Structure 1
């Protein structure tokens, strides 16, 4: 794919302006003409022609496991442009026409296993093209669940997961985060189902369709990255949480979900007090069936959530703070391409801790930061050590799936970078810069080079001494953790760390464990040696009832420890956990841990995976497939 051309900047700027909207500032043109804005995971050539708006009219066929209908794309073409190149993967294209129904020539190119195939359409002067198509039954973005795979076990269920480049398996568009698009949709589902999407809900109760079914209409009038177009359909109910917040879920899950998420409105207010107004209207969430592969996905106006965040004591709501923070970092200001994923996740992880501090106090926030730091150290070692190029913030993903860059390097090293800047310049000064950063780049893509230009122009401001202290280029472009990093807070876990030492000396499980919060329990379990032996594990389990924990994070930490010790009594608990949810954060490390245990663990892994895999989303199964391949 060619570099975006600086000479095309004025065209791109115009193309980014939806009808009736105010043109973005010159920063948009600067981003899309920057060398590091080139998206190697898209076939699009936006300097020639780009999609500005997507209008979907689709029917969800649960029997065939397909989305079928039309996608009408508004196109802004440069003078003399004759074609537009879209991204597709597995789509079955029936026809392409202009807005008047006149056929247009089109062709699907060679398929790449990572990024799919280019769909090239000859424009013949058209500024709107209409594609009639079907998604494949195995479209990677979509998961079709049978009733027995849902919480309520009454109706089938559908949900999508588009990040990073999966939406091209059900929407023919330019599937690149830098090519922001407005969109609208009409979705037909069976009449006993409800459909929701990541945009304004125009027909909350649906409209009857001749011949059966019910149509739901949606729109997103703000230009978003195309991976943020998301859908769910099934047995779905709603409960409001505040004036602009609420939660969708299956009826069987709704009450527990609403109880867990009761502080959401306060979180929105806390976030606004930090970094400016929430610009998306409503902030709703949907708790999906257990197969959802992530903790959360920040789809605008409708965060998608895993039910594994429901602990019964609201101890895992930092996940909500994280997904809400994406309304600024990720959705409002978006990485232009996936090598700079840290510009979404590092900022969001930092912002998450600030929301948690504002609502729940500094100790709770510091505990999450310390746990994240520990996870980062493990990730660095797993990447090959601090000298590995995979520990850089700005990555080289040439020839790789962008999913390879979605590690704690982006999240926790990125957050540590921002905490270091904050500590160096002071919180008040840092907050003023970050709030203005979100304002300056609102509804625009961003790259590493342009982030550095911004912070130098608006925070460093020519101060050579400060430039030297911050070590900006080293943080962004070099592997490992720079020497100026601010050490993670440890005082918040002082009592727990003392309890670990006491346990290792006496062998007596801590009697205070039941009084600790989730973060403190995780600190204790993660700090224990991996070679305790079956006897000590049995004593721990008897004293702390770890195998019976209803908290997914605690159970995950316990299972990791048990696998490391080849603790046979935990295998039924492990099997139930791995077959009852599909969250990759838990599933992938547990199968990897089993695989490392060779003749003990591999047979267990293969047996459980054969049973569990049909219920996993492709995001999860793809990772585990690689883990167990050749094992």
Structure 2
């Protein structure tokens, strides 16, 4: 079983080992004029240790108005400590001398216009240009800037919420909506009520408010977005139910009731966010041919690995992401074929090599289980826990006897730890218990190298290279061809390749020495990459052009980073432009103009990439 609570999360002030939140009710009133949420939360708490007389919560730039014992109405005193720390402020609430082990604490407060969890968009920043828009992004430790909480993945609780918004706008949360009704009189506002019965960590509390429309895309799924994109989104994500059913076959029953999708405005900093009942996704997935919809399989998988079984602290983030990538690719294998699963894993290995190169082979953030004491989890965020974690699971599957042996472990792991938050030690203990007849094989694993070794994993899984070899052959032809002999290439080179293979072809070229600009120009003439809508292909093509020092690519690169804010794309391109003296000042000048309209997380990280903000 998972270990008891311990004050081991280095990113949280709270002490759930002493006093833990068991349930929470949230009351939000959305103020678009001031860019704040007027909030009231009622926290159902339980003292874990006799004699505890204080509750410690995480906050960041919250203005606390009043705190009371919600059972008695008694006003409670409180202290905000360390208001200048990057992790926010420790809110210490004096609970009095009551001997009750359970009580309800009510905190009335308001958020700051600079809340790192919330992005407020003016009407002009939306597709419809008519109404403002609000969305949250609380992972990793931003929930504390939206509500006072124990902002650690080690604390999970169900929640209910009431959200009051202007009439004409729709509110959604990472929960099931129970009612929507206007307030009495001519108030001009509507109240929406929500319930999340399954315990969730604070980072999975999410809200969106905007002029949203919806389309039903399956028996338990609806897609939401602005009306300008809703039909395109419904087409793109039409296979959602098939993905859900496939995931259930691997992981067990889906416990969350509904699985809806929200396509956000372009400034959303991630590809997707697995908010339960309402996955947030980037509009960069709308390729028009469903070629990027596989991201949804990743977020669906989080319904089990991450949301149902959760890493206990940011240091164990691989438990969420490594398992999710591993299972997501199994979904692809079952829906298409095993070659595709293997091919995606090959691409992940290449991406991991690139990430290690960017960090440096001896960087502590290349460890699978890093020490994050004093480190903002956002600074450590990378694909390392995703791909290194998935590689460990592929290696174990191969070592222990293949999918028929290993897939039952995955399902048993989820069933054993569901509704809990766990550590890597808990995971390893269960692995040994499940495979008690294969202890010698497990003892042969170099666990220290896998968990704490830096750089690439100690063992590379065995991949089926069939699809990748086609990409490698074309890449080799381009690398070895003389510039005088480029007419032998034609459109048929890519005609039988999937978008995944085109992406891999470009990824492989990026790992080579820069191509001469003449080859870049010829490649554009033949393959027309500048006109491709697929964001993954476009991103790699732009990087290839910048690496080749094609000056015409700078304007296109700036256009790309300005039209969307997905950090996976924006940060590498800004870093590429910064590394080239010809484009460095253009990148800096563009960032200074755009920073105010970027998501706060994206703006902060790009500012560090451009050496404009201290790391």
TM-score band, normalised by shorter chain:
over 0.9
SS of the equivalent of 1:322 reads: helix
2:390 equivalent to 1:390: no
RMSD: 1.7
Structure 2 partner of 1:52: 22
Paired position in structure 2 for 1:81: 52
Moved over 6 A (4+): none
8 Å Cα contact 1:373/1:488 also seen in 2: no
Secondary structure, in 3 states, of the residue corresponding to 1:47? Answer: coil
**What are the Cα deviations for residues 90-133 of structure 1, in whole angstroms up to 9, with x where unaligned?**
00111111114321101100125331110011112371111111
User: Which residue of 571, 576, 589 maps to 1:588?
Assistant: 571
Map of 1:244-393 to 2, 5 A cutoff? Answer: 244-385=220-361, 387-393=362-368
Change (3 A) 1:482 1:544: closer
Task: Give the TM-score normalised by the residue count of structure 2.
Answer: 0.94
Aligned equivalent of 1:97, options 68, 74, 77: 68
Tell me, yes or no, if the aligned pair for 1:31 and 1:450 is still in contact at 8 Å: no
> Does the 8 A contact of 1:238 with 1:247 survive in 2?
yes
Q: Relative to 1, partners in 2 of residues 1:469 and 1:484: Cα closer, same or farther, differing over 3 Å?
A: farther
Change (3 A) 1:49 1:438: same
User: Which of the numbers 529, 536, 540 marks the counterpart of 2:523?
Assistant: 540
Q: Does residue 576 of the first structure (1) align with residue 563 of the second (2)?
A: no
Q: Which runs of 5+ in 2 are unaligned?
A: none
Structure 2 counterpart of 1:507, from 476, 486, 491: 486
Alignment of 1:488-567 (within 5 A): 488-504=463-479, 505=481, 506-508=485-487, 509-511=489-491, 512-528=493-509, 529-567=512-550
Residues 82 and 31 of structure 1, relative CA distance in 2, 3 Å threshold: closer
CA distance change for structure 1 residues 31 and 516 in 2, over 3 Å: closer, same or farther? farther
- Distance in 2 separating the partners of 1:342 and 1:463: 23
Residue aligning to 1:479: 454
User: Hey, what's the Cα distance between the residues in 1 that align with 2:497 and 2:593?
Assistant: 35
Q: Choose the corresponding residue for 1:199, options 163, 171, 175.
A: 175
- Per-residue deviation, 1:477: 2.8
After superposition, residues 229-248 of structure 1 pair within 5 angstroms as 229-248=205-224
User: How far apart are residue 390 of structure 1 and its match?
Assistant: 2.4
Equivalent residues of 1:353, 1:365 under 8 A apart: yes
Separation (CA, whole Å) in 2 of partners of 1:144 and 1:65: 6
Match of 1:447 in 2: 423
Structure 1 residues without counterparts, runs of 5 or longer: 1-26
Q: Does 1:120 align with 2:92?
A: yes
What is the correspondence of 1:1-80 to structure 2 with a 5 Å cutoff?
Answer: 27-28=1-2, 30-33=3-6, 38-77=8-47, 78-80=49-51
* Distance in 2 of aligned mates of 1:379 and 1:236: 37
Pick the aligned partner of 1:170 from 146, 169, 172.
Answer: 146
**Local SS of the residue matching 2:85:** coil
Structure 2 counterpart SS, 1:604: helix
Between the aligned partners of 1:602 and 1:306, the Cα distance in structure 2 is 27
Is the Cα–Cα contact under 8 Å of residues 69 and 75 in structure 2 kept in the other structure?
yes
The number of equivalent residue pairs is 597
Instruction: Select which of 171, 174, 194 maps to 1:218.
Output: 194
Q: Report the counterpart of residue 603 of structure 1 in structure 2.
A: 585
Question: Partner of 1:458 in structure 2?
Answer: 434
